[in-house]
């Protein structure tokens, strides 16, 4: 298996050369990164050329790399209120301050905030390939749609658009697929509030469901630091 993957990587490097921004074995799977302006040409070759023959796209997902690798809960500090990791806002979704810090230029190796990741399958060669395409603009992330190449990517791209706000240029019917009509924001983005934007309830006077500003009070459950508890001491 490892030999076959290495051979695939060598073929990819020979065929696409400098077009590949990255080409390596990652988590036991061949992985390449390509620029959005060359994506369709590369995907077409991966599908049509016999030495690759990736006939199927198994999945397309969005990724928000804001604060990539930043772990809020990794600390040994503590205060009289509990662990500082639960007191100090450092994670995305915790509040305006945390969001600003998290998304301020801290991305995946400086390549951008949003990416679309494609999982391709070659039935002919019994091989898989992971392809990553970063959007060039963090404010309006746009990557080309692969639906004209693989019709099965239709709903996958709609899901990534709905949850991450990634626009797939050339998609035949790009609209939300999981969230409700009129939903505000994209819930899988790192800066989406954990308490949400709005809440809904049934209004008996109006006879219908109504949407209102969220009334949940943001708070953090801070674990207590129990240093000594007589209940667990051995009796003498």
- For residue 233, what pLDDT is reported? 66
Where are the alpha helices (H) located in 49-181, listed in sequence order?
84-87, 96-103, 154-164
- For residue 55, what pLDDT is reported? 97
- For residue 28, what pLDDT is reported? 87
- For residue 78, what pLDDT is reported? 54
- For residue 227, what pLDDT is reported? 56
Cβ–Cβ under 8 Å, residues 133 and 222: no
Residue 185, CB half-sphere, CA atoms under 13 Å: how many? 13
How is residue 169 written in tokens?
């240029």
- For residue 116, what pLDDT is reported? 98
Global confidence as pTM: 0.80
Question: Which residue from 155, 193, 180, 176 is spatially nearest to 61, judged by alpha carbons?
Answer: 155
The number of beta carbons lying within 10 Å of the beta carbon of residue 103 is: 19
Which residue has 């626009």 as its token pair?
167
pLDDT tens digits, 25-74 = 988 899 999 999 999 999 999 999 999 999 999 999 999 988 777 665 55
Which residue has 């690759």 as its token pair?
52
Cβ–Cβ under 8 Å, residues 33 and 13: no
pLDDT tens, the chain, 236 aa long: 688 899 999 999 999 999 999 999 988 899 999 999 999 999 999 999 999 999 999 999 999 988 777 665 555 555 555 555 555 565 555 555 665 666 665 566 678 889 999 999 999 999 999 999 999 998 999 999 999 999 999 999 999 999 999 999 999 999 999 998 888 899 998 888 777 888 888 999 999 989 888 887 766 655 555 556 666 666 55
- For residue 92, what pLDDT is reported? 56
Cβ–Cβ under 8 Å, residues 189 and 165: yes
- Alpha carbon distance 155, 122 (integer Å): 20
Give the 3-state secondary structure of residue 209: strand
């Amino acid at each position: 298996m490892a030999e076959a993957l290495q051979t695939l990587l060598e073929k990819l490097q020979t065929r696409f050369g400098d077009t590949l921004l990255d080409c390596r074995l990652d988590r036991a799977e061949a992985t390449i990164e390509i620029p959005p302006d060359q994506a369709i040409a590369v995907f077409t070759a991966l599908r049509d050329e016999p030495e690759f023959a990736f006939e199927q796209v198994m999945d397309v997902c969005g990724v928000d790399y804001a604060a990539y690798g930043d772990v809020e809960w990794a600390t040994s500090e503590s205060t009289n209120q509990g662990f500082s990791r639960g007191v100090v806002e450092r994670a995305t979704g915790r509040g305006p301050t945390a969001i600003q810090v998290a998304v301020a230029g801290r991305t995946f190796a400086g390549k951008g905030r949003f990416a679309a990741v494609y999982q391709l399958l070659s039935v002919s060669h019994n091989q898989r390939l992971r392809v990553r395409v970063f959007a060039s603009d963090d404010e309006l992330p746009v990557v080309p749609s692969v639906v004209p190449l693989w019709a099965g990517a239709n709903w996958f791209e709609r899901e990534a658009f709905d949850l991450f706000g990634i626009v797939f240029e050339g998609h035949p019917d790009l609209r939300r697929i999981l969230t409700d009509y009129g939903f505000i924001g994209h819930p899988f983005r790192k800066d989406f509030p954990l308490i949400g934007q709005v809440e809904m309830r049934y209004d008996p006077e109006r006879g219908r469901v109504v949407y209102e500003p969220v009334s949940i009070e943001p708070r953090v459950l801070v674990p207590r630091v129990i240093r000594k508890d007589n209940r667990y001491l051995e009796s003498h």
